[in-house]
Amino acid sequence: MQNQINTMKPELLAAIDNAANLQALDEIRVAALGKSGRITALMKNLGTLAPEERKAAGQILNTFKTEIATALDAKKQALETAELNARLANESVDVTLPIRPETTVGRIHPVSQVMEEMLTIFAQMGFDLAEGPDIEDDWHNFEALNIPPSHPSRQMQATFFMDGTTDKILRTQTSGVQIRTMEKGKLPIKIVAPGRTYRCDYDATHSPMFHQIEGLVIDKTTNLSHLKGVLEEFMKLFFETDDVALRFRPSYFPFTEPSYEADVGGALAKAIGKEWIELLGCGMVHPQVLRNCGIDPTEYQGFAFGCGIDRFAMLKYGIPDIRSFFEADMRWIKHYGFLPLDVPTITSGLSMNGGRK
């Protein structure tokens, strides 16, 4: 056995030393110490020796085994270190390089920027983000929102129908996401849902594709004063001024009762020579809408609001015509767009560190 060790040892040590990578090293380990490895075979042989020989042979074999295992370990560590160093050298970042041109050439569209600003504010207020499909069915866009087939507000929302169907439409409002959220059956609810909306309309203040953001809060105690508080706080943060007044005018939406249109006054309105600017629709969620979603209106209540994101962008950044948003004119996007690194945050004042470039 000593003879076998004497030939095996230099052979194994040399092989370990020469192993080019971790995989090759593991193959050497298996061939020596694995189930049918050479050293394992010697161990198995011990059983055939006479008891007095077995003890001495066992010791010699154990020492040999330990020696090989130690050499394997040391080589493994060396290979791992070398591999890590190679990776570090390969992936190193040169922080002295100038900024990559695409981060200064490209622009974020004002609608995307404003959506991000709005979500930043609502997230801070504890709202979750909800989404629904652009292609909606009649139930979610109309019926469940308390708008039956004969209802006049269907005509007011000039609907695009998908070819040959009456049940596949381009959503005319994000209000359907209220229904989709309530139908999931998880209460309480506190969500905002931004997205694209579509109506057959085209002039300086209407585009066939535009953007809305919807808000919905449902629990056992939420009331109208919470709605007013949330909207007032939102306006202050969004328009970055404390000089904001909010006025609720009685209005009508089939899915809220009572319903209001909210106007803002203060610095923003004065800046464009007005006393009040109409900004959004809102109200307390109609009991029938709650029932349509399997929610008991004697136990739960809440508010909803919805508004045009494009309109908020036009007001905040002084953009006169909504159609220009979607014309993909490079001169326009260079003027009104935002640098990709100007990510809105509450602490930096949303647009303060970037603003229009």
Q: Among 107, 105, 104, which Cα is nearest to 338's? A: 107
Residue 297: CB minimum distance to ligand DAH, A: 16
Closer by beta carbon to ligand DAH, 254 or else 266: 254
Closer by beta carbon to ligand DAH, 197 or else 324: 197
DSSP, collapsed to helix, strand or coil, labels residue 12 as: helix
Residue 189: CB minimum distance to ligand DAH, A: 13
Residue 304: CB minimum distance to ligand DAH, A: 3
Residue 139: CB minimum distance to ligand DAH, A: 16
Closer by beta carbon to ligand DAH, 284 or else 333: 284
Which residues have C-beta within 8 Å of that of residue 25, sequence separation ≥ 6? 16, 19, 72, 75, 76, 79
Closer by beta carbon to ligand DAH, 175 or else 181: 175
CB 52, CB 34: distance < 8 Å? no
Closer by beta carbon to ligand DAH, 205 or else 353: 205
Task: Report how far apart, in Å, the C-alpha atoms of 90 and of each of 80, 84, 85 are.
Answer: 15, 10, 8
Residue 256: CB minimum distance to ligand DAH, A: 4
Residue 316: CB minimum distance to ligand DAH, A: 19
Residue 254: CB minimum distance to ligand DAH, A: 9
Question: Where is 31: in which H helix or E strand?
Answer: helix 22-33
Q: Among 205, 207, 226, 206, which Cα is nearest to 215's? A: 226
Which residues have C-beta within 8 Å of that of residue 124, sequence separation ≥ 6? 346
Closer by beta carbon to ligand DAH, 292 or else 351: 292
SS (H, E, C) 35-85: CCCHHHHHHHHHHHCCHHHHHHHHHHHHHHHHHHHHHHHHHHHHHHHHHHH
Please, which residues bridge with residue 194 across strands?
213
Closer by beta carbon to ligand DAH, 28 or else 230: 230
Quote the distance between the C-alpha of residue 306 and its chain's center. 21
Residue 157: CB minimum distance to ligand DAH, A: 7
Phi-psi category of residue 128: left, alpha or beta, with phi > 0 → left and psi -120 to 50 → alpha: beta
Quote the distance between the C-alpha of residue 142 and its chain's center. 28
Interacting residue ranges for ligand DAH, rule: CB under 6 A: 173, 175, 214, 253, 256, 281-283, 304-306
Closer by beta carbon to ligand DAH, 127 or else 253: 253
**Phi and psi at residue 202, to the nearest 5°:** -155, 105
Please, which residues bridge with residue 128 across strands?
191
